[in-house]
Structure 1
Amino acid sequence: MRYILKYKKRFFIVIPLMVILSCIEEIPLESDGFEEALVIEGTVTNEVKHHEIRLSKVFAIDSTGPKPLTGANVSLSGNKEYVFEEAEPGVYISLDSFAAQPAIEYELNILVNNKEYKSQSMQLPGNSKIGKLQANRIDYGGENGVAVTLNNQNIDQTANYYRYEYVETFKFNSNYKKVKDLIIVNEEPIEVPKQKEEYTCYQTNKSQEIILANTNSLSEDAVNNLLIKFISSDSPILSNRYSILVKQYVISREAYTYYEILEELSGLENVFTQSQPGFFAGNISNINKPEEKVIGYFDISSVSTKRVYFNYEDFYDANSIKPRFVSFAQCEVTTPSTSTLIAQLEQGIVRWSGVTPTGAFMVVPTRCVDCTVFGSNKKPEFWED
C-alpha cells in the first residue's frame, strides 16, 4: 500500500529570492513589506447551512495576530443576494441557510470603512465523494504509528483539485481513578465525594495543515491512499478511542494554486496569525484601489465528509502500557503538612490520593487524576463507543 504525505506544514509567508510556481497558474508575489492588510477567510459550499465569512486586519509589525474587522456589510451575489450578519467581532454569518448551486456565478461583496471589496466570480466545481477512510498501523518516516488514509470516488471528471480539513476527537483517561476530593472548610482540608467526572475525558482538535491533492496529471482520475493524519505510537491520542471527521473540498484550479503556493512558502505558523514580511494576492480586491493588500481566497466548493473510529486495542496489545499525557513517574504521592496541603489545594496543583494509617492525607499532582486538565469531561453528541 502506498502512503502519500501531502502538505503537512504550517502557513507562513516568507520572502524567497526565487519562487518556482506551479505550472498551472502564476499568482503575483510582492517582496515589499506592508503596513497592514485585510484578511478575508471564507468558503461557500454545496451544503445547506448558514455560511461564514471572517474578516480581520493584520499588520506586518504586529506579531500578536489579526484583529477582527467589525462593522462591515457582507453579501454574496448569485442567483439571489445573500446577506451576512456580524455574529461576533469579525465573524459574519449568512442570515439564510443555503447551498451553492451548479452553473451559478457567485461574487463576495464587502463594504467597510467606505471601501468596497469584491471577489472574482466563482462557480461550483465538479463533485467527488470520499470512498474510503481507513486507519492502519505502519512505519512512517522512521516512526511507528497509525496512519489515516483516504480514497475518493470521482463522480465528475471535472473534479481534479482537492483540499482537505479534519476534526479529530479522542477519548482518554487520567492515570488514576479517584473517588474522593479534598476541599478546605474552616481552614482545614476535609474529604468529600468526587465533585465532577475526572477520569474519562475527550479532546477535539481541528487540522492546521494544508492538505491538497491533484489528479489532473494522473492516469487514474482518483485520489488513492492520501495520508490525512499520522499518529505516532507514543501519542496519548491513541490511548483509548479515536475518531476523525474528514472534509473533502473539490476546489477550482485557481484555489488549488493559491493553497499550493502557501504550502511552498510555509515554514512556521498560520498565515492569518503571524506578522507578514511578504505578500501575495488572492482573488479579492478593493475595486477602487486594486493595489491595496488583501489576503485570502474566497471559494465556492462542493464537499464530502466521512468519519472513522478505532480503538487502541485495534492496533496494540491491550495489556501494554498505553501512552499518556503524564507518565506514572511524574505522579509521585506525597504527604504534605496541613499548611502546605492547604496552599497546594488553593493553587489547584494536587488532588486526593488516599489517607495514611495515621490519618494524614496523601496527594498526587492534579494532572495525574484530573483529565479535564487536558480536555473536556463532556461526551460529544456524535460520539459512538
Structure 2
Amino acid sequence: MKSDLNKHKISFCGFLAVVFFYGCIEPFETTFEDFESAIVIEATITNRMQQQRVLLTRTFEFEEDGPVPESNAVVRVQGGGTTYTFVEGAQGVYISQQAFAAQSNTEYQLLVQTQDGRSYSSSQMTLPQSTQIDDLRAERITTDLGEDGIGIFVDSFDPTGNSINYRYEYEETYRVIAPYWTPEDLEKVPFDEATEICQVRVIPDNKSLETGFGTDFSNAIIQTSTSDLGEDRVDNFMVRFISSENYIISHRYSILVRQFVQSNEAFNFYETLNEFSGNESFFSETQPGFLEGNVTSDTNENEKVLGYFDVSSVTERRLFFNYEDFYPGEDLPPYVEPCTPNAPVLFRGNPPVCVLSAMVENDLVRYVDANGGQGPNEGPFLVVPKVCGDCSDIAQSTPPEFWVED
C-alpha cells in the first residue's frame, strides 16, 4: 500500500525540475545545470473537525526518484486568536496536534520554519461557504474515444451563487479476489544426502489471502467552475472514469468523493498547476516559468517557494456498486496481472540449476494443482504468479469500517 507521503492528492513535484528554472534549450539535454532545490508546501485546512495536515517536500531533478521530504520543520497555523501546532508523523507529513475545523469569518495563516532556520508564511485565507453534493452516481458510458467503462458523476447546486469554484478528490476501495487461490502451497524440500536437490512439496497454505480490500487515492487535479453559467450549478460532472478493463471493478467497488469549495485564487492556482503538468508543456517552445502561490519566504525575498495554503469548505458522499450491476453475465475484467498457470521445471542444466524451488523460496509463485499431463519440458506442479493466488500484496485482509455488502 502507499505511504502517507505518497497519498497526498495533488502532486506539485512531478514537473518542478522544468518549471522552476527554464529556458529554450536547443537541442534538449536532460542535465539541468542551474537546478536549485526549492521547498514545496502543500496545505489545505477545511471545515471538517479533524487533525489537519501539511506536506513539506523539496523539488527534485528528473534523474532522482522523487520528492525529498522536508523533515524537522516547525509548522503552525494561526487563526481566530489560536495557534495550532503540527508535529511530523511520516517524513515530510505534519499533523495538527489537536483536531480543529476552520471557522467562517476567520483569517488563517500558515507559518513554517525549516531546520536550517528559514521561515515561510502564507497569505491570510478565509473559509468559503459550504455547498452540499446533491447527487453522486455511477453510469456505464462510452467515452469519446470509444472506451467502455463506468463514469462517476456529481451534481451540486448553490442557490446563493457564491460557491462557483469546485475541486474534487476521491478515495476508492474495492474487493479483490485472487482468481487462483487454493488452500495448498509449495515449499522447498531441505536437501540432505537422502534426497535429491531442487525438490518441492505440497503443504497446507496458512498465509495466502484469497479475498481482500484495496484502496487508491485520486492523484490528479479535478476541478470545475460555474462562473460562465447562468446559475451556480454543477450538473453531471464526471470526477472519475474507470475502464471496463480495470480489475478494481471486478467485484464490489466503493468511492468516496469530496467536494471542496475554493476561492478564486486557489482555483486559478490549481488550474495553472494542472496546465503546467500537462505532457506537452515540458518541452513546448513557450516554457511555463515559475508558478507563484501564496506562500513566500520571510528570510529571503528572492527565494522561490512553490506551494499554496488553502482554506476550503468540504462535503463528501459515498456510493457502492457491483460489477454485475452494469455488466450482468459478462466476463470479469482482466486481473491485475496475467494469471496463466504454467509448470516450471525442477531444474535445468548440468550441474543442475534449481528453477521451481528458487521461485518458491523467493515467494514468487503460488500452487494451483498437480501437473497431470506433464510434458518433457515441464515440472510436476502448476503454479501462477504470487498475486494470482495471494492478493495480500495489493489488498488488506480486513474490510474498512464503512464497508457494507449489497
Corresponding residue for residue 389 of structure 2 = 369
Q: Quickly say closer, same or farther: Cα 1:11–1:71, change in 2 above 3 A.
A: closer
Q: Quickly say closer, same or farther: Cα 1:210–1:87, change in 2 above 3 A.
A: same
Q: Does 1:145 align with 2:149?
A: yes
* Stretches of structure 1 lacking an aligned partner (at least 5 in a row): 1-6, 19-31
Q: Does structure 1 retain, via aligned residues, the 8 Å contact 2:131–2:156?
A: yes
DSSP-derived class of the 2:213 partner: strand
Q: Does 1:301 align with 2:320?
A: no
1:92 equivalent among 94, 105, 115: 94
Shift of 1:189: 2.7
Q: Does 1:210 align with 2:229?
A: no
Q: Does structure 2 retain, via aligned residues, the 8 Å contact 1:146–1:232?
A: yes
Matches within 5 A, 1:1-385: 12=15, 34-60=35-61, 63-79=64-80, 80-112=82-114, 113-141=116-144, 142-154=146-158, 156-187=160-191, 188-268=199-279, 278-327=289-338, 330-334=339-343, 336-337=345-346, 339-355=354-370, 361-366=380-385, 367-385=387-405
- How many residue pairs match? The answer is 358
Q: Quickly say closer, same or farther: Cα 1:190–1:296, change in 2 above 3 A.
A: same
1:142-177 deviations in whole A, cap 9, x for unaligned?
A: 111110000113265321111111111111222223
Q: Does structure 2 retain, via aligned residues, the 8 Å contact 1:128–1:156?
A: no
TM-score (normalizing by structure 2): 0.80
Q: Does structure 1 retain, via aligned residues, the 8 Å contact 2:171–2:218?
A: yes
User: Counterparts of 1:241 and 1:99 in 2: how far apart (Å)?
Assistant: 33
Q: Quickly say closer, same or farther: Cα 1:192–1:340, change in 2 above 3 A.
A: same
DSSP-derived class of the 1:279 partner: coil
Higher strand share: 1
User: Counterparts of 2:342 and 2:62 in 1: how far apart (Å)?
Assistant: 48
User: Counterparts of 1:324 and 1:10 in 2: how far apart (Å)?
Assistant: 31
User: Counterparts of 1:160 and 1:73 in 2: how far apart (Å)?
Assistant: 34
Shift of 1:313: 0.4
Corresponding residue for residue 27 of structure 2 = none
Q: Quickly say closer, same or farther: Cα 1:253–1:44, change in 2 above 3 A.
A: same
User: Counterparts of 2:14 and 2:271 in 1: how far apart (Å)?
Assistant: 11
Q: Does structure 2 retain, via aligned residues, the 8 Å contact 1:34–1:277?
A: no
User: Counterparts of 1:224 and 1:333 in 2: how far apart (Å)?
Assistant: 50
1:1-41 deviations in whole A, cap 9, x for unaligned?
A: xxxxxx9x9963556999xxxxxxxxxxxxx9651211101
User: Counterparts of 2:60 and 2:323 in 1: how far apart (Å)?
Assistant: 45
DSSP-derived class of the 1:261 partner: helix
TM-score (normalizing by structure 1): 0.84
User: Counterparts of 2:141 and 2:13 in 1: how far apart (Å)?
Assistant: 24
Q: Does structure 1 retain, via aligned residues, the 8 Å contact 2:13–2:40?
A: no
User: Counterparts of 1:11 and 1:156 in 2: how far apart (Å)?
Assistant: 38
Write the letter of the residue equivalent to 1:47.
Answer: R
Shift of 1:278: 3.9
After TM superposition, the structure 1 stretch with the greater mean CA deviation from structure 2, 254-263 or 178-187, is 178-187
Write the letter of the residue equivalent to 1:161.
Answer: N
User: Counterparts of 1:88 and 1:114 in 2: how far apart (Å)?
Assistant: 21
Write the letter of the residue equivalent to 1:115.
Answer: R
Q: Does structure 2 retain, via aligned residues, the 8 Å contact 1:281–1:294?
A: yes
Q: Does structure 2 retain, via aligned residues, the 8 Å contact 1:76–1:109?
A: yes
Shift of 1:361: 4.1
Q: Does structure 1 retain, via aligned residues, the 8 Å contact 2:369–2:383?
A: no
User: Counterparts of 1:381 and 1:106 in 2: how far apart (Å)?
Assistant: 33
Shift of 1:314: 0.4
After TM superposition, the structure 1 stretch with the greater mean CA deviation from structure 2, 119-128 or 236-245, is 236-245
Shift of 1:233: 1.3
DSSP-derived class of the 1:36 partner: coil
Q: Does structure 2 retain, via aligned residues, the 8 Å contact 1:73–1:111?
A: yes
Shift of 1:311: 0.5
Q: Quickly say closer, same or farther: Cα 1:117–1:254, change in 2 above 3 A.
A: same
After TM superposition, the structure 1 stretch with the greater mean CA deviation from structure 2, 344-353 or 253-262, is 344-353
User: Counterparts of 1:356 and 1:291 in 2: how far apart (Å)?
Assistant: 70
Q: Quickly say closer, same or farther: Cα 1:59–1:11, change in 2 above 3 A.
A: closer
After TM superposition, the structure 1 stretch with the greater mean CA deviation from structure 2, 39-48 or 200-209, is 200-209
Q: Quickly say closer, same or farther: Cα 1:156–1:46, change in 2 above 3 A.
A: farther
1:262-304 deviations in whole A, cap 9, x for unaligned?
A: 12222259x9xxxx99421100001242221111110101010
1:206-249 deviations in whole A, cap 9, x for unaligned?
A: 11111011112211211111111111111112211111111111
User: Counterparts of 1:114 and 1:349 in 2: how far apart (Å)?
Assistant: 48
Q: Does structure 2 retain, via aligned residues, the 8 Å contact 1:166–1:247?
A: yes
Q: Does structure 2 retain, via aligned residues, the 8 Å contact 1:74–1:111?
A: yes
Write the letter of the residue equivalent to 1:114.
Answer: G
How high is the sequence identity, in percent, across the aligned residues? 37
Shift of 1:363: 2.3
User: Counterparts of 2:106 and 2:123 in 1: how far apart (Å)?
Assistant: 13
Write the letter of the residue equivalent to 1:101.
Answer: Q
